[in-house]
Chains A and B, each alone.
Chain A
Amino acid sequence: MHAPNERIRADSIATGASQLSAVLQELLELTPRAARN
């Protein structure tokens, strides 16, 4: 990974963005601030 010619596929970015969005939404929706207060 630590190489001057490291590379990453554009479609993995799409998957990652989708997963990150889903994880954030799930975590935040599971524990809404109102419920914790």
Chain B
Amino acid sequence: MTDTAVDPAAIAPDAVALAELDGGTGRERVRIDWLLRRLHDAPGGRRVDDAGNLVWAFGPPPYRLAVLVHVDDVFGEATHRRVTERDGWLSGPGIGDNAVAIATAVAVAEHGLGEHSLAGRELPLVIVFTVGEEGLGGLRGARHACRELAPEAVLALEGHGIDRVFTDAVGSLRVQLTVTGPGGHSWWDRGRPSAVHELFRSACQPRPRTARPTQTQRSPPAYRRSPSAAARARTCMPRTSGSALTPSPPAPAS
């Protein structure tokens, strides 16, 4: 393995600068623009894709590897974004999730690929600074990048786990439910099922346990063995008869 020329001390200033910019989910453009300026003279080619991701390619497709690094965080516009450095710790909103990862990817791509970095030689590598990773973003940018670039392998970079490598994880599945019922008001609708009561009752019912994924048990993924979104949605539908205080029967096995 080749020695790297990455200086960790040089990563912190970029991380701090990024973390102190607004960049909540849906407001990533400020950070994308900062990166475009920061990488103006860097090797490779850069473009902003239809999802708003910044795609930094080191050669033409097909790509052996895509490194995905999300640029959004969970904090609102009113958050005071100030990062402090003390006793070997960087502290502040978004510094670990995910400003450090962004800055590390930049540093490694610029200086940590040995002769490839210096020569600007073409590589089957693409780094994507993605939008919409947190919360209701639902991995929007990462999904778009994987569809568009179709890399052979993907490495997702997170600041808080940047010194560890995980080879397995559960999937991410988001559903939107609308629950309605005839009840609601504590006086006028007493005795009629409330959507809120039924929703919580359904959520508290036991679910089938799923097997823990292992290195040798990957197909199908564990999350695909869990109840389908449709099945879970069905169990959350309120009943239209009976009292909201009557215990519901167990959910049907799926």
A residues touching B (Cβ–Cβ < 8 Å)? 1-28, 31, 33, 36
Q: Say yes or no: A31 contacts B79, CB within 8 Å.
A: no
Q: Say yes or no: A16 contacts B97, CB within 8 Å.
A: no
Q: Which residue on chain B has the smallest CB distance to residue A17?
A: B6
Q: Say yes or no: B94 contacts A6, CB within 8 Å.
A: yes
Is B230 on the interface with A (CB-CB < 8 A)? no
> Would you list 10 pairs from A and B whose C-beta atoms are within 8 A, ordered by A residue?
A6-B91, A8-B90, A13-B100, A17-B8, A17-B112, A19-B163, A20-B67, A21-B4, A21-B6, A22-B1
CB neighbours (8 Å) of B134 from chain A are 2
Q: Say yes or no: B160 contacts A1, CB within 8 Å.
A: yes
Tell me whether chain A's interface is mostly helix, strand or loop, or mixed.
helix
Q: Which residue on chain B has the smallest CB distance to residue A4?
A: B93
B residues touching A (Cβ–Cβ < 8 Å)? 1-2, 4, 6, 8-9, 11-12, 15, 59, 62, 64-65, 67, 73-75, 79-80, 85, 88-97, 100-101, 104-105, 107-108, 112-114, 116, 122-125, 134, 153, 155, 157, 159-160, 162-163, 165
CB neighbours (8 Å) of A11 from chain B are 8, 88
Q: Say yes or no: A8 contacts B6, CB within 8 Å.
A: no
CB neighbours (8 Å) of A2 from chain B are 73-74, 97, 134
Q: Chain A CB within 10 Å — which of B62, B122, B160 has the most?
A: B160
Q: Which residue on chain B has the smallest CB distance to residue A32?
A: B124
Q: A8-B89, A13-B162 are in contact. List 16 more A-B contacts (CB 8 A).
A: A2-B74, A2-B97, A3-B93, A6-B96, A7-B95, A12-B163, A15-B162, A16-B101, A19-B163, A20-B162, A23-B165, A24-B65, A25-B2, A28-B64, A31-B64, A36-B62
